[in-house]
Structure 1
Amino acid sequence: MITDVVVLSDSNESSNECVQLNSNNKALPGDSSDFEFPEVNFYHIINEDDVGKSQDADVASCSSNFNNNAPSHQSNNDKHTTSNKHFKQHKVKKLLYDTSDSSSSDEENRNKKRQRKVKNTIGKKSRIQINEEKLKKQEQLTREKALKAIAAKKLKNIKPDECMKFIEITVDKAIANFISVTDVTNTLRDAGVKCTVKTKFISNSITWKRNIENSYVNDDNEICTVTDVEKVSQILVIWNWDEVATKVTNGDFYMSVSSIKCSLPDYKITLVVYGIEDYFAYREQEKNSDKSGTKKKTQKTCTEKYLQLSKHSCNISRKQLETYLNEIQIIADCSSRLINNSQDLALMIYQYTKAIAEIPYKLEKNKNLINKFDWYVMGDNRNTVKVDKSGNGLKRLWQQQLCQFNLSSLEIAEAICSMYPSPAHLIEAYMNCTDDEGINLLKDIPIRRAAGPLTTVRKIGPELSKKIYLMFTSKNGEIVLS
């Protein structure tokens, strides 16, 4: 390594001399300069050993050259050497400090990087968790919406306007022997009722079935619908008048109904006797005709149906038929209807169909009312009284409550309100009375029916007074007022 040293002098010599120091540390040529060499610091990375060697060489050469020419500067050279030693030590300490600082800074950077990685991983995990929670919430909301839609659709399907679409009627073919089935089916289809005709196990019968849409939410939160068929436990059996007359005459009427009941124990049976009114009308005319000429005349003018009636040998009375109908109703739980033409029969079937279709809606309505109240009045939305925040309407409400008692009227309620304007006043009067006085408290209150000189005045009476007293003072909620 070659080091260049520049020597500055203020002597009278013509030129400044430059001295080169080679790598072998040769002695400097003679120089008459009395000045020290200024120290020049180079801020670059060097090897510590090379720095020490170069500085020792420079100091040695400078001291040998300046001993002869400048003995007065010896002390300065000593100072220079000590300063160089301090500089060397400072440099070493600085390098050591720099290395230690660099190592500590590296560790700090590593720690920072680790912390950043941990933060990034935590941030990624938290983001993933947040996204998962958002997805779960969205799925839950979509599922709740789907369930609400299913519930709304179910309520809509059982409403009276929509429930008829899910009912289907099945009519037995054997009914066509005495009834025009096409007239009945066409009337029902015009009313929006599905109707099919086929052979059934019970002859001359009509049954119903309900199509139920069962919806559910699958794993993808999609609404899926499955249609199930539910058989309605109602059956309508239609017998013609001649079959009924024969069974009543032979005594097989009850046995025929009981056999149907045994085959369908869970069904409610309704027996329809078709055309029996014409049979009774014909028998009545036959009894009233005393002359043979009138009989012949009526036979000539009667229709084909009346000819069939005249040929029938069985003779039953209305009283006999009603006795048998009451018997099957009490013993076999079978109701009955008397129908005389196909239009009335179609209307009756439609009424039954509508009643059967509205069964789920009525059951749901009654269930909600029972869950909401311990008791309810069937006409709870009629003749109601509105009371505002200022109390307007309380008197009318008190009168309406008094009108609910049997034997009560608006005039009686107004008479009681004139004496006791609120329930609190009446209860206070009852609290200050004995039982006998309380029972007779209201009986002498006069009732004015109208205004004018012709008005009549009467009293409330002991019966209604007793009922009101029991109502407001009795501790037993099951007690009968009358």
Structure 2
Amino acid sequence: MCSDSLQSEDLRSSSDSDEELPVFDFLQPRPSTDVASQKAPKKPASSVLCSVGSADVMMISSDSEDDVPLAQRVKLRQERRSTPEEADDLPHRHLSASETGDATKATKRSAEEIRASREEALRRRQARERRQQDREALKQEQERQKAERRALAEASKALRPEECIKHMVVAVDPALLQLEGGGTLLASVQALGCSCAIEKQPLPRSVTWARQAPSAQQNGAARVPEPHVVMQMTVEDFITLTHNYIQEERHSGSACSPTLTSWVRERQRLHPDKRLSLAVIELESYFRARKSRSQKRLRAAVAGEEAGGGKEKKKRRSGHAEKLPEVSRVEVEEAVVHLQLHTGVSVRFLSTWKEFSDHITMTTKAVAEAPFKRAREQTGFSFYLESEWAGGQRVDKAGKGLLQAWKRQIQQFNRVSSDVAAAILAAYPSPQLLKKAYSQCRTENEKLSLLSDLLIRRGEGVTSTTRRVGPELSKRLFLLMHSRDPEQNLDASL
């Protein structure tokens, strides 16, 4: 069917030879791929009927390709297209092969560089670690110096009078707390604001002190013991040791029994780093009992009473007091003076346990403030006889301190002691009251001698003395209060 149509179309084309065949664009050769077709002139294509095998195939040919079949022509064109690409790829393939050695060298060079870079990184890391260690060491040194400065500042602050009592530790022997006034002593120490420790002491019934010194270490403050020791001595021990001393002195020989002085010396030998002081409580009860017994014996001797059953019962009731030897007040004073001269140990006689607690409290304050006072005396000038005097007197808004300011104003006069100023203050506590007393005087001589008869008391007890202010000081105070001349000489006579 197809061949018939083709034949008919062929016959039609042959019959009409003058008619030109159509030209198809897709059958024309491309200029980029077919170089020969670009050089040859274009000719009209013609169609040819060929037989391949048993099938009839229409072949399209041109004059330039010498009637090459279409399939072969297409294959030829594909080969032509692939040939420039492979040709272009050959230089690239050749370059890639030539670069293989350079890549290997680059790989080897990179490994060496990596090794060098690792060594450099290790050196840098070690340098960083050394710098870090140096920084940490410097930081630790700075922190240590800062801690030392802080400790020094805290230690200096701890010596101040308002702060030193907080850093004191009062160590009390347990045997002292078991006595009658142990509870009162413990309460007084705790009320003072310092620390209290109940520890067994080398000397029985004694009280010692320690100071908590601030330290730069993290474990807290160091505890520095103080040399002061206060020992409570019973009346029985004190009377017995005093009696032994009196017997030794009277017989002018060495006694086998220890005396008050020898007993204290032995304690000083065992504890050379301690400053011992003794406290005797209720010694007056011994003297009262002794006086009562003497009076009873005197009444019995006067009445002529003989020893009987009743007297035996009294002895049994007061058997403990009767066992103590007879010692007088004069003998006690003699033994105490001998003790203080040869050992430097003082004895304080107290009436009650409350007074003993107050004595421990005052001793605690004195021990706490002692370093501050010593440092102040060392830093002060030699011509300042009293450091407190140079500092003046502080007066607050409520008027506290005015009395002391008036007292110091009186003490500015020559040869005016604290006792003299205290006597004037007792009569006239303020300058206004003294001025009012002057205004009530009628004559000038009465004003000048207003303070002459004021009594000045010195000392306490049987050793106290009294004297009068005198007209000289009375006249100087009058001039101070009434003179209008700023250059007035207070020592000059009127």
TM range (shorter): 0.3 to 0.5
TM-score by length of 2: 0.44
TM-score by length of 1: 0.45
Larger radius of gyration: 2
